[in-house]
Amino acid sequence: MEKIKIAIQKSGRLSEKSLDIIAEAGINLINGSRKLISLASNFPLEILYLRDDDIPQYIADGVADAGIVGENVLAESGAQLKVLERLGFARCRLSLAVNKSLDYSDPEYFEGKRIATSFPGILKTWLDKNKINAEIHVINGSVEIATGIGLADAIFDIVSSGSTLLSNGLKEVEKVMDSEAVLLTSPEMSDGKREILDEFLFRLRAVLASRNNKYILLNAPDENLDNIINAIPGMKSPTVLPLALKGWSSVHSVVNENDFWQVIGKLRDFGAEGILVIPIEKMIV
């Protein structure tokens, strides 16, 4: 029987979250010692543990059928792979940063300057797009110290909270791209493998949808029932059941995390009571 090989980062920021999402999809990995390969006991799938930078090439070469990496790593690799799903973790951005005392106005500043980075490909594309000639210094790790030690005039690096820049006396001046973890695949695959990957993706999407949504239950005064139902952007239409107490109904629905507090606010304004919010285990939409 055919199986698919999915590459994930061996150790680093993506590792735990990649394993979590696979586990939440109900896939049980045996010999999970994370040496090189784990096999699933209940799904035709194998996990390969690799350095994140190597994952796009392994997929392009057909050694792995799919993989999880940051979009920045995919962009840097230049590999022509398909993004099947954005996974909502390891969010960050790639930005240019300069000394915080510098009076920066526009990208022309970078003309003729030395920029240190671990992402020369993405930087080069941006510089070319802006018709800027700059010297790219490739360094792996601790890019943020490059200006301080006189190696470069600016850096191009991953920024998340911004505290690394701050503590190195730098300021972010141009955001070049946003990134988050994505599930990638090669455009070519046997029909058998494609079918397995589709099932994997179906499960993954159920996990992602459940993470982004909450189940809510509340008691609504009947005179405001219409307003309350309109305030809830539910999956289709909320369930409404009469309460034993006359004049009141129980309303059940699903609310997206992003709209959550706004919806709750409206519900309270319309006199909803006893609002319960419950996490969803899986959600098939």
Among 74, 92, 184, 231, the residue binding ligand PRT under the rule CB under 6 A is 92
Taking the CA of residue 193 as centre, how many other CA atoms within 13 Å lie in the half-sphere pointing to its CB?
16
Residues whose CB is less than 8 angstroms from the CB of residue 132 and which lie 6 or more positions away in sequence, other chains included:
107, 108, 110, 111
Residue 172 interacting entry, from ligand PRT, Zn ion, none, C-beta within 5 to 8 Å by type: none
- Strand, helix or coil for residue 117: strand
Among 18, 38, 72, 249, the residue binding ligand PRT under the rule CB under 6 A is 72
CB of 185 to Zn ion, least distance (A): 20
What is the DSSP pairing of strand 82-86 with strand 181-185? antiparallel
Give 52 or 153: the residue with its C-beta nearer to Zn ion: 52
Residue 157 interacting entry, from ligand PRT, Zn ion, none, C-beta within 5 to 8 Å by type: ligand PRT
Binding-residue pattern over the window 25 to 64 for ligand PRT, x denoting contact by CB under 6 A:
--------------------------xxx-----------
What is d(CA 123, CA 116) in angstroms, rounded to the nearest whole number?
10
How many residues bind ligand PRT (CB under 6 A)? The answer is: 22
Among 164, 219, 224, 250, the residue binding ligand PRT under the rule CB under 6 A is 164
Going from the C-alpha of 82 to that of each of 78, 159, 161, 184, the distances in angstroms are: 12, 25, 29, 6
Give 45 or 97: the residue with its C-beta nearer to ligand PRT: 97
Query: Looking at the chain, how many residues does it have?
Result: 285
CB of 165 to ligand PRT, least distance (A): 6
- Strand, helix or coil for residue 19: helix
Burial letters 84-97, b for 16+ CB under 10 A, else e: beebebbebbbbbb
- Residue 12 lies near ligand PRT (rule: CB under 6 A): yes
Task: Note the residues at the interface with ligand PRT (CB under 6 A).
Answer: 9, 12-14, 51-53, 70, 72-73, 90, 92, 144, 157-164, 179
